[in-house]
Structure 1
């Protein structure tokens, strides 16, 4: 670019399952995160479609990030959408979902609307339109299905192009985290990057160092990538199933029977209540009528009463929020008590680290195995790894990071910014792509 050529801004977007961020280029070079909510450089990946008080012809009012979560918690009429990234690569992306008062939106439009919001914030700061972007992506959107994985990236690309981002490049999120880590080291390292967020757990084995960061093409420095579609939202789901939904009848028993032991209560409704994008399916009129008719399936009638309160008052998303809060409380090193008084006056459930480890053992094992598989794909012995670099919101769960670090015992355990390392690394990559 000549000295007199105008600066064409570009950006890098970390569209995460739980949190998102955007880095913006500057005329002087480089790309840095910008504030997206007040002084915060990261924002919950959440959209609230408000329908309260609207005339029939008026579209839903959208709120984003923390404002979206606040509107939901305050009880405004509408629909909270979270974990939108998890629908990429699934048939749901092209389907519509009810947001209240007879209004519906396509899941793909929810994604594009959120990207448009981030882009608009960056354009306001840049004072110019944005058409060039690097987007992060997990190693696998969908496990074991290359066709659906490719479709997921294509769908995200569709959403980005629909809001005016015409020049697009993708980069693996753990590679971006490695690029962010590389900015601060003074010697070559072999690094296992563990990027564990809300929707996926991704690993990359990467060679980094001061000499290597000068290269435009880093393909040869990436020894292996691997990942699984298991992470923070799966943890929340298992916590809810283990600590909250049993009081509503999950794994509860039916009435005593003369011809054998009591049968277990049907469990499908509980799995749906513990999965963000399926919760609203429980509130359909036929489903509610079916659940109401199941009262005699319960040996403890209080369990059915609590379940119907969840359904009638549409408390599903709130319960999953309580599960997430309990997970965070345990991750910070303490026991917690979950207040379930919305279901029944005085009702509470205890939750501690031992219960969390029992509930999450299968998920944690799957993530550990993915770390091992990454080393195996690279043909590298665990003892050769210099550092394991943790990023992503779920790396705040100490038992998980300890189990991963134990797989590479000689490596130094390093923690990046859980919510911003990927976005910062994507900014580094965007500078190399576009500048």
Structure 2
């Protein structure tokens, strides 16, 4: 019974699972060799699968590798973004005439995490704390409740019987609290792949001993904008114009070509919808819409060679390279897979302009969180940054800027939330 509970950080981009160890501390499970976090990705492979058999599933880095290596199958990412939408109970094609409900994709991923934890614990796990963003769906409480209910249903499908939820930024605050020696007001900024969540939290060594911390949560706020949105804007700004995004048609009308296919190609969970036979045929018939036939040919190369996810990866890599580089640097984006010798460029000013509206929305969400708590920006003692997207230095600086007297503290970008959820599970279940 010592290991009869766990905590799961089911993230848009990466996930982790925490267990109590034999010293009554919390430790993250090694979910892949040498790794405490795993990409939230599932690959349904058709290779070696008989017609009557279900596709074999690969998870995490194995899933991404299978896709990059060109194995026959379907890659699923950003599954969390489907929670709260009408897609959750709908089926999605995974190849070979097979369809899988999105909810079952999520439960299958949770089952994999649970099995890894049970292997380490040496016992079944029936109690769990699950992390959740402040808002699955902005401004729609009913859909937000539906999203949590769907995640709970997925967890129950894999054998969890007692389930508790904790806001992800609160979990990060619990992890941070272990480092403080006096009472502080902390703005926790959890900027992940799909959501940017903020909480204004009161922490102290004395309060750390409490299980019920509701009185210490002064405000929660969040927006459904984060890292994958940055990648989409960068791809639309720097890469997809070379395949016809915002291109014009022939004279005399010179109408802009339809943009929906480009938005779909720049959105992780919609990319595969572009590859269906009906959609592909429709796109081929659009040749006459383009004044420059080469642009349409590149679009069809993306579709025929299924390069959508690879191009998203190149956009993300370029975004990171620009953020890590020197001011004024221009990053070259190699597009040889699309066309030999083809190259795009991304300058820092271009990248920042592409994501400016999203950056400002995130910054204002942090300011609004303090306002909701009745706390002036100068009263905030610390800004605690966690989540994969806080590695983008300009974003971190912008978030912290309104809180001029606060020190900026960086947590483990990928593991702080899971660690904090484990601490909360310990207090709830131990």
Partner of 2:217: 222
Deviation at 1:249? 0.5
Q: Is the 8 A contact 1:9 1:25 kept in 2?
A: no
Q: Is the 8 A contact 1:11 1:31 kept in 2?
A: no
Partner of 2:176: 181
Partner of 1:327: 319
Q: Is the 8 A contact 2:363 2:398 kept in 1?
A: yes
Q: RMSD value over aligned CA atoms?
A: 1.1
Partner of 2:270: 278
Q: Is the 8 A contact 1:24 1:32 kept in 2?
A: yes
Structure 2: give runs of 5+ residues left out of the alignment.
none
Give the one of 121, 127, 132 matched to 1:137: 132
Partner of 1:308: 300
Could you tell me how far apart the structure 2 residues matched to 1:288 and 1:216 are? 55
Partner of 1:83: 78
Could you tell me how far apart the structure 1 residues matched to 2:413 and 2:426 are? 22
Divergent runs of 4+, >6 A:
none
Which whole-Å deviations, capped at 9, do the CAs of 1:96-148 have from their partners, x for residues lacking one?
Answer: 11111212211111100110011000101111100000000000000011011
Partner of 1:147: 142
Partner of 2:45: 50
Could you tell me how far apart the structure 2 residues matched to 1:256 and 1:313 are? 30
Could you tell me how far apart the structure 2 residues matched to 1:295 and 1:213 are? 63
Could you tell me how far apart the structure 1 residues matched to 2:422 and 2:232 are? 32
Which whole-Å deviations, capped at 9, do the CAs of 1:168-215 have from their partners, x for residues lacking one?
Answer: 000000000000000111111100000000010000000111111111
Partner of 1:288: 280
Q: Is the 8 A contact 1:200 1:227 kept in 2?
A: yes
Partner of 1:3: none
Which whole-Å deviations, capped at 9, do the CAs of 1:360-383 have from their partners, x for residues lacking one?
Answer: 001101101111110111111000
Deviation at 1:352? 2.4
Structure 1: give runs of 5+ residues left out of the alignment.
1-5
Q: Scaled by the length of structure 2, what TM-score is found?
A: 0.97
Deviation at 1:27? 4.4
Query: Secondary structure at 1:187's aligned position in 2?
Result: coil
Partner of 2:289: 297
Q: Is the 8 A contact 2:3 2:19 kept in 1?
A: no
Give the one of 320, 324, 333 matched to 1:338: 333
Could you tell me how far apart the structure 1 residues matched to 2:260 and 2:3 are? 52
Q: Is the 8 A contact 1:179 1:428 kept in 2?
A: yes
Could you tell me how far apart the structure 1 residues matched to 2:286 and 2:325 are? 40
Q: Is the 8 A contact 2:173 2:188 kept in 1?
A: yes
Could you tell me how far apart the structure 1 residues matched to 2:366 and 2:291 are? 44
Equivalence map 1:33-432=2 (5 Å): 33-257=28-252, 262-333=254-325, 335-432=330-427
Q: Is the 8 A contact 2:3 2:121 kept in 1?
A: no
Could you tell me how far apart the structure 1 residues matched to 2:56 and 2:318 are? 31
Query: Secondary structure at 2:57's aligned position in 1?
Result: strand
